[in-house]
Every structure is written in structure tokens, then in C-alpha cells.
Structure 1
């Protein structure tokens, strides 16, 4: 993608509308492994930047835990990153490195299915309505890895949304 190497998963016809699924963790495409085939008949931080670079290429955005607002950060989970952002150095760097370690990945996949989401709160979702009054916001009980516990519900919402937005594009 414009000289950048990006891992991606794809399914469906090559001429179908492109659906960019945003999530923030490096292993996040695993989260979409069941969703992609369910939507293939229809055709988070990095993703947001890609969309901003080429907004004309974006018909719609679907974000699950693709937080874009301070409102969505659960304070206890973000103390380390915030400390590093305000004062980068060896003391504040160690907690950041832990976020991308094996123990953190295990925590995400074990604790992430719990409700409430301990990483991003519901206020991050509802904040979209401030800038996008017509945004469709669906809050579904299920925690950070919602597709593991409520795939059918999510697929229903997504198919309806894609039917409305891609038909108008």
C-alpha cells in the first residue's frame, strides 16, 4: 500500500466494495477470522490514518474498539501509555514494551472477552455522535472481543449497515 507493507485478510469478489475493519492490537486480524467469511457475500490507529489520507476512497467506517476519542480510554488501562507520552524515557518505556509482550497478548485474549471492556469504554463509541450526528452506534454486551461472543448479532448489524451505505455509494 503506497510502499508500506500491511498484512491484511480478504474474501469475496474482487469487484465488491472494500470493507476496512479497524482494530488496534497487532494480532487483531485474528478477531475478524469469522466475520470476514460471514460478510464475503457482500463483498484503529493505522486504519484511521489510511482513511484520512484518502477519504474519497472511503464509503463508510465500521469501528469496533477502534477508539478515536479520549472519552473511550479506560483510565486504569492507559496509565502506562499516558505516562510515556508525557515523559518518554527508560522508566516510562518499560510498561509500553510490556503492552506488546506475550503476557499482555494472553491477557487481551483471556480478559478481553469479559464485560465490561477493560481497554476501551462505551463512552468512546457514543462520542462519535458529537462529530457524526447520523452515526449508527450499537452497544452490545460482550467485552473487547465482541466477535467471539456475539458474532451473529454483529453480522446482522453489519449486513444492514453495508446494505444501506454501499447501495448509496
Structure 2
């Protein structure tokens, strides 16, 4: 079995895009949009576990990872969703299971809302949730900046875009024994790719969480109206998205399959074996 992940580039609207790909062309597709402050690197270990049956595709968004950082791109959740739509069109992908994690969740759900017939199912893993009352305590730190004038808000958020904060994002709320399993490559790599332009992009995207709140009703309506088959696989040791965040999805997806594992926000680093087994079982049932 060929379990190698290929590292490819494609030009979309003049932007050179890096992406990881594994599995046979023509096999059922799993689309893997990444979170912040990360890149397609977060899926590097999951992809070989599933590529015997599925075609897995994980792009680096413009301004992240090894993709270009053009000056004229719309670096917002809307802009990234439009990019993701163009990306799957360029690869001639028309149906897929969508992985929703971190900022990949508000981006991916916009794609799902725009193209509901393309979405075979959802794998929801510590994604940014659309339930205001079920957010974790760390989100309150972001919300406190929303009362500031925009320049002051961005100045405060800019203080959080630094290597030490990246480290804290990846370690999050883990106990020491689990924290030891998180490779420092995660924050070292992604901080090494930071530039002044990319820092500006990150600040604007985090600031955009305030505006994204208006998308919550559309997000919930999509889930309730379409009832996509859903696997909720969650790391409850997450200051942003704790256990109550995972359970909140059951309000609109009562038939979703919920599994709480022992890790945190970056579950594919700490509980890869358990998560991959659950994902494989789900994919075999809905997208085999």
C-alpha cells in the first residue's frame, strides 16, 4: 500500500498554493482545511492512516504554510472560503467529507453553506463552534478586546502573535505528560514562516471573529436544515473549546456521533490512533 504523502503546488488566480495529497485519484475525497496558527502540517500524520481507501487533500491557505502571501488577497473567513471553493474546482473535486477544526471550521462551513450538495459528511474536531454560550474561558480573552476602538483592538491582538503565544496555543490546557507529546516543530516551524505581512493577516483574522459571530445563525441553520452525517471527535482539554462546546453541536445534530477523547485542541498530535480509528469507521459508513 502506498501511504506516502505527496507535496504539491498549484497556481490558482495567480497565487501559488502548496498542498498535501495522499491516496488514489478517483477515491472518495476528504478535504482538510487547517487551523491557526498552523498549516496543512497538522494533517501530516492522519493522511497516511486513511489513504488506502480515501483521497485526502490538505491545502495551505494563502498567507500560511508554504503558500504565497499576495498583497491583493481577501484575508478573511469569506475570502478563505472563496479560495477553498476555487481550490477544489481546480482539483476537480465535487464531493467530499469536510474536516472542521479551529479556524478551518468557519471557513469550511461557509463552503458547505454555498455548496451543500458537495458535502457528504462532517468530521468536527475542536472547531470554532457556532454556540455563544458554549465557548471556553480563553475565548473571553478575545472578546474583551471587542470593546476597544479598532486600532486599539488590533494593537492588543498583535501582542498575541509571537512565538511564545504560538507555543501556548499548541500546548493549550494539556497535562504535562500529554504536553510532552506535542512536538515543538509545531510552533517553531510556523513561527519561522511568520513575516510582518503574515502577522498583519493573523491580527485581522482574529479580529474578524467579532464579525464572524453574525454567521453563527447561518452555521446552525445549515446543520439543522441539512443534517449532514457528522462525527464529533473532541479533545476536552481545550481552553477555547472544552467538552460543553462539543456537546453543543447535538442541539442541531442530534444524530451525530460524539466521542470525547483525552486530549485537547490538537488531538491529532496526542490521540492519533484513537481519532484515526473513529474517522475510518465513520468514513466507511458514509463515504466508503
State the TM-score, normalizing by the size of structure 2: 0.51
Aligned match for 1:18, one of 25, 29, 47: 29
Q: Give ranges in structure 1 of 5+ residues lacking alignment.
A: none
Instruction: Please report the RMSD computed on the Cα atoms of aligned residues, expressed in angstroms.
Output: 2.5
Quick one: distance in 2 between partners of 1:33 and 1:120?
23
Task: Report what 1:161 is aligned to.
Answer: 282
1:73-112 aligned within 5 A: 73-75=135-137, 77-111=138-172
Task: Report what 2:106 is aligned to.
Answer: 45
Q: Give ranges in structure 2 of 5+ residues lacking alignment.
A: 1-10, 55-104, 176-235
**Larger deviation, residues 49-58 vs 110-119:** 110-119
Quick one: distance in 2 between partners of 1:119 and 1:4?
35
| More RCO (CA 8 Å, sep 6+) | 1
1:117 aligns with 2:179: no
1:34 aligns with 2:45: yes
Q: Give the 3 Å change call, closer, same or farther, for CA 11–113 of structure 1 in structure 2.
A: farther
**When you count strand as a share of all residues, which structure comes out higher?**
2
Q: Give the 3 Å change call, closer, same or farther, for CA 57–152 of structure 1 in structure 2.
A: same
1:141 aligns with 2:262: yes
Is 1:24–1:65's contact at 8 Å kept on the other side of the alignment?
A: no
**Deviation at residue 15 of structure 1 after TM alignment:** 0.9
Could you say which structure has the larger radius of gyration? 2
Q: How many residues align?
A: 166
Is 2:22–2:48's contact at 8 Å kept on the other side of the alignment?
A: yes
**Deviation at residue 157 of structure 1 after TM alignment:** 0.3
Is 2:37–2:166's contact at 8 Å kept on the other side of the alignment?
A: no
Map Cα deviations across residues 12-66 of structure 1 (whole Å, 9 max, x no partner): 1121122123553141432211001111112122122122211111101101111
Task: Report what 2:271 is aligned to.
Answer: 150
SS at match of 1:59: strand
State the TM-score, normalizing by the size of structure 1: 0.83
Is 1:23–1:63's contact at 8 Å kept on the other side of the alignment?
A: no
